[in-house]
Structure 1
Amino acid sequence: MIRRATAKDADHIAPLIEQAIHEIAETLTGTQEKELILQRLALFVTQTGNRLSHENILVKELDGRVVGIVIAYAGVDAAQLDEPIKRQLLAWTGRAAQIDQETEGNVFYLDTLSVDSAYGGRGVGSELLQAAADEGEKRGLRAFTLNADQTNAGAQRLYRRLGFVPVKTIEISGGQFDYMERPYANRK
């Protein structure tokens, strides 16, 4: 079953976020200490109005547990969704945070896709990806977009096979990513 996440899912979602975004998780939490990263990611999931909020997450549930997540939101909301994270980082670290802008515009942005390794190879990631794509299309947005790490050949192949085309290169938390998009049918 794929469903909208709730704040109660936070402790199950946080490790899946960390598994998928590594250095970006350090940037978003202001620490390199894994336990603290997980606590802070879980806090963001419980809150509203930020990019990691349960409001922007769909979960795949199997056997009564969360086994995969997709975080996605409209590109036009991206900068606004980062503001609460920046404020929290200032409180935690005492200094203003720089968060790289990952998307913008009239698109639906796939921020994070992650599947518990014990459930890999069962189509969970594909199901979540399709559920997010469908949500963006329902919203009437121009394209479905994502960033693929240039060093991750497997992800690059998968996204190209699914119809995503690189549009530009961007830097996120020191890494190089291909910003890729797949236009929605009949949208320009």
Structure 2
Amino acid sequence: MIRFAKKEDGTAVAKLILVILKDMELDFLKEFGEEKALEVIAACFEDPTYRFGYARGLVEEIDGEIAGAVFGYPAAKEAIIDLPLQKYLHAQGIEGNIQMFIDPEAFPNEWYLDSIAVDERFRGKGIGSKLLTAVDRLATHEGEKVIGLNVDKANPNAKRLYLRDGFKDVGEIVISGHQYDHMQRAVKDFDRS
């Protein structure tokens, strides 16, 4: 069942997000390690304004387990989504301008699909496709009419999934030294309540 994320989902969601962060080869992971990254993501998850905050995501729950999750935000809010991370790190006595993400990712006037992940135990069951379709709920909730995302040029399987869902290439972008295609599609059933 796809549902809005809840605060108590933090630990399970953090494990899914960590897989994405490892694929991106972020300096944050190299500096802090996986265990600290999991702690940080789970703690910040409780802040609804955070990039991976519970209020910005949906989860697929199967038999009481989080099988997958999707997170995003309106492009206009990109400047504030990582402030909870900064606040948490400072509260832990970690000073400086430490950032998990250093590059802007969203294009103007879109709801940006930041992350979609499926637990490896549940892959191959269509969960990614279901979550991708469900993001329209989040975009509509934020009043957005266009959904954007970035797909790593080295991940043709993900790109095929996005193309099947109606996304089209609209540009290219470099994030953490990796080349991505930026894709967009209109929100489906936007006028429905």
Deviations 1:117-163 (A, max 9, x none): 11111111111111112331354423111110111111122212222
SS at match of 1:133: helix
| Contact in 2 for aligned 1:77/1:104 (Cα 8 Å) | no
1:155 is aligned, of 150, 154, 158, to: 158
| Contact in 1 for aligned 2:60/2:131 (Cα 8 Å) | yes
1:42 corresponds to 2:45: no
1:130 is aligned, of 123, 126, 133, to: 133
2:96: which partner in 1? 95
- Structure 1 residues not aligned, in runs of 5+: none
TM-score, with normalisation over the residues of structure 2? 0.84
Amino acid at match of 2:5: A
| Percent of aligned pairs with the same amino acid | 34
Cα-Cα RMSD: 2.5
Instruction: Tell me how many residue pairs correspond in the alignment.
Output: 187
Amino acid at match of 1:159: Y
Structure with greater helix percent: 1
Shift of 1:18: 0.9
Going from structure 1 to structure 2, the CA distance change for 1:82 and 1:176 (only over 3 Å counts) comes to same
Going from structure 1 to structure 2, the CA distance change for 1:48 and 1:25 (only over 3 Å counts) comes to farther
Residues 21-170 of structure 1 mapped to structure 2, 5 A cutoff: 21-22=21-22, 24=24, 26-27=26-27, 31-88=31-88, 93-97=94-98, 99-137=102-140, 139-170=142-173
